[in-house]
Amino acid sequence: MNGLSTCERPALAVSLGPVRLKNPVAVASGCYGYGGNYREFYDPSRLGGIFLKCVTPAERPGNAPQRLVETPSGLLNAIGLQNVGIERFLREIVPAIEGIDTAFFANIGADDLDGYAMLARRLSDVPKIAAIELNISCPNVKKGCLAFGADPESARQATQAAVQSSRLPVFVKLSPNVANIGEMAQAVAEGGAAGITAINTLLGMAIDVETRRPKLANVTGGLSGPAIRPVAVRMVWEIRKAVPDLPLIGMGGILTWRDAIEFLLAGANAIAIGTGNFVNPMAPMDVLQGIEDYMAQHGFASVAELSGAMEG
């Protein structure tokens, strides 16, 4: 605790190594498009950061529908990394984010190490991109991605491939579908990661008992939403213990400011909202206000003080 005087407002800016966020509230990849869709609700420049929808070397049509199923307090999805590919990304998406003043993280996915290296290299020259988010944890594509996130050595190699090819800091998005998340965190740290984002979705499945068919065309999908939050908070806590000094952005089922505070207390330096945007388009702004009020009320002068401040 500290001596924040009653009339002072807490400092919201966060430093994640070389990346500075104006506040600790970001929006998660795949849940915010390329930054423009929520403009009618609030100015996206008020966000601490935007994790862009995943880009892959070539255009991908994505999985066949049905792509979504709602589950108790959760959402099961198998979108399959539908995106326009790196060439159109650079030509069409990058100019469109120019007017938004926030830290952009370009989420990249590939089938092999060369693909990761190529994407990391191409994005190095884009001034608007603050960092790369390495997607080694998408559970919904047949090749690559999750395969790299499933064991420490592959994760280290993918991280290294991106780090060596790019001038940008590389954050690695970890999959929860592993036995030991701390080991994964250490592996990507060894690979040169500038930070970690966690968690991606939990692998899940739902069956229609009348038709006896899987509800998703892809059979399995990634579970998000409040249903996974306790798992995510536990994993953020374990990652923090495994890599005490590595910048860490926590996510997984955050809907309200209370949820966000849990992640910060568990050791996250900042948080991201994913599925919560769909439930409440104002969630990022509501959460930001709630964090600020909480900090003022509890005497935290900065987000850094709050990060990892869980007692016991």
Partner 1 sequence: MKQCLAPLVESRPLGPGLLLHTYHDSDIAAHAKPGQFINVRVSGATAPLLRRPFSLCDADPAAGRFSVLFRVVGEGTEALARAGAGDRIDLMGPLGTAFQWEGVERALLVAGGVGVAPLHFLASQIWRAKQAERPAPRVVFAYGARDSGGLALADDIEKRVDLLAITTEDGSRGQRGLVTAALDPHLAPDTAVFCCGPTPMMAAVLRRMRERGLKRGWFSLENQMGCGVGVCLGCVVPTRDGYRRVCCDGPVLPAAILDFTALCS
- Choosing from 38, 89, 104, 263, the residue that interacts with partner 1 (CB under 8 A) is 38
Q: Backbone dihedral region of 144: left (phi > 0), alpha (psi from -120 to 50 degrees) or beta? A: left
Q: Which stretch binds partner 1 (CB under 8 A): 111-119, 177-185, 273-281, 285-293?
A: 273-281
User: Does 148 sit near partner 1 (CB under 8 A)?
Assistant: no
- Choosing from 56, 218, 275, 307, the residue that interacts with partner 1 (CB under 8 A) is 275
Q: Contact 174/184 with Cβ under 8 angstroms? A: yes
- Choosing from 82, 154, 220, 302, the residue that interacts with partner 1 (CB under 8 A) is 82
Tally DSSP H helices, then E strands, for the chain: 11, 16
User: Does 77 sit near partner 1 (CB under 8 A)?
Assistant: yes
Question: What residue type is 150 in one-letter code?
Answer: A
Residue 87, helix vs strand vs coil:
helix
- H helix or E strand, kind and range, residue 217: none
Alpha helical stretches, state H, 150-223: 152-165, 181-190
| Of residues 38 and 89, the one with the C-beta less far from partner 1 | 38
**Catalytic residue of the set 7, 31, 54, 138:** 138
Nearest residue to 242 via CA among 149, 133, 152, 136: 152
Catalytic, 54? Answer no
Give the x-and-dash track for 103-142 against partner 1 (CB under 8 A): ----------------------------------------
| Of residues 182 and 281, the one with the C-beta less far from partner 1 | 281
Residue 289, helix vs strand vs coil:
helix
* Residue found by looking up tokens 């991280």 in the block: 159
- Choosing from 4, 47, 55, 69, the residue that interacts with partner 1 (CB under 8 A) is 69
User: Does 207 sit near partner 1 (CB under 8 A)?
Assistant: no
Q: Which stretch binds partner 1 (CB under 8 A): 65-73, 99-107, 235-243, 294-302?
A: 65-73
CA separation for the pair 172, 254 (Å, rounded): 20
Residue 269, helix vs strand vs coil:
coil
User: Does 226 sit near partner 1 (CB under 8 A)?
Assistant: yes
* Residue found by looking up tokens 């009020």 in the block: 293
User: Does 280 sit near partner 1 (CB under 8 A)?
Assistant: yes
**Dihedral angle over CA of 151, 188, 76, 232, nearest 10:** 110
User: Does 67 sit near partner 1 (CB under 8 A)?
Assistant: yes
Residue 170 pairs in a beta bridge with: 132
- Choosing from 21, 23, 32, 131, the residue that interacts with partner 1 (CB under 8 A) is 32
- Choosing from 12, 22, 66, 231, the residue that interacts with partner 1 (CB under 8 A) is 66
What phi and psi values does residue 69 have, to the nearest 5 degrees? -145, 135
- H helix or E strand, kind and range, residue 57: none
144 Cα distance to chain centroid? 18
User: Does 220 sit near partner 1 (CB under 8 A)?
Assistant: no
| Of residues 50 and 235, the one with the C-beta less far from partner 1 | 50
Active site residue ranges: 138
Q: Which residues bind partner 1 (CB under 8 A)?
A: 30-33, 37-38, 40-41, 53, 61-62, 64-70, 72-75, 77, 79, 82, 225-227, 255, 275, 277-282
